[in-house]
Amino acid sequence: MWRLMRRRHETQPEVAGEVAAQAAVTVAPVEPDLEAAAFFDVDNTMMRGASIYHFARGLATRGLFTTSDLFKFAVGQAVFRLRGNENPEHIAVARETALAFVAGAKVDDVVRLGEEIYDEVMADRIWGGTRALAQQHLDAGQRVWLVTATPIELARVIAQRLGLTGALGTVAETSNGVYTGRLVGDLLHGPAKAEAVRALARREGLDLTRCTAYSDSANDLPMLSLVGTAVAINPDNELREHARKHDWEVRDFRTGRKATLTALPIAAGVGAVAGGVAAGIALRRHYRR
């Protein structure tokens, strides 16, 4: 009798597995909507703060540059945000400085650090409301792309971690897996974002009138105006006013202290450049070691 009971006990998992398989219901796959897609800005839209700044913070915790460097970068963000303008000459100078520092860094190292730092620092800063909006598009069979001035390697990491289709980001020139210190084109910022979306639409056969774009910044008005549906997420004052005049939907996921904190990181263009400087300094110190 003991032998029989033992045999029955040993086969319970197999029986449970068979029963579950027989009861399984095949869910009809989502019909892909090949002509519609959604485009999401990253900084302060999908994520609280500037992604490149969080990346720099992660580098700081690894001792790749000092907390003083990080503090100076943060102050620069706050000052710029308060001034609310973007001087093209300043952007150009900062861009060249960032590229000079990152020259010689290995792409694989940046990707590896990006994955580690996303899991440690960025994952908890994703806006749940924005992530849910992206999931709605995915559930409808639509592709979802991030569009950001952040370096493409980091943008791809974020897209992969969120289960999105892909990312459009600033592309730095590489040779044999190493950054040369030059950009391919320019920063993916402002009108360049709209051009990238337009080019992707041509490649993928998208109907832009059936697409949706999301952003927090008036700097992204060229992209937002390109698609059939524009949504302002955690908008700055200029974008909020534009959205009101054009009857665009507004979603604000900030509350109280969070709204104050997320007002500090600067707009995407200069944020990516300044963060690139900080990250470049860190990587250069890493290679010197």
Catalytic residue status for 216: no
* Catalytic residue flag (residue 43): yes
Written as one letter, the residue type at 243 is A
Q: Which residue stretches of the chain are H helix?
A: 2-23, 51-61, 67-83, 88-102, 107-117, 128-139, 152-162, 191-204, 221-224, 237-245, 257-262, 268-288
The catalytically annotated residue of 43, 69, 216, 220 is 43
**DSSP code of 47?**
B
Helices (H), 118-189: 128-139, 152-162
Give the CA distances from residue 24 to residues 14, 18, 19, 20, 29, in Å, rounded to whole numbers and listed in that order.
Answer: 15, 10, 9, 6, 15
- Give the DSSP letter string of 99-136: HHHHTT-BHHHHHHHHHHHIIIIIGGGB-HHHHHHHHH
Which H or E element spans position 167?
A: strand 166-170
Residue 40 sits at φ, ψ, to 5 deg, of: -120, 125
User: Looking at 33, 41, 69, 207, which residue is catalytic?
Assistant: 41
Q: Residue 149 in 3-state DSSP?
A: strand
Q: Cβ distance 50 to 265 under 8 Å? A: yes
Residues in a beta bridge with 68 = none
Active site residue ranges: 41, 43
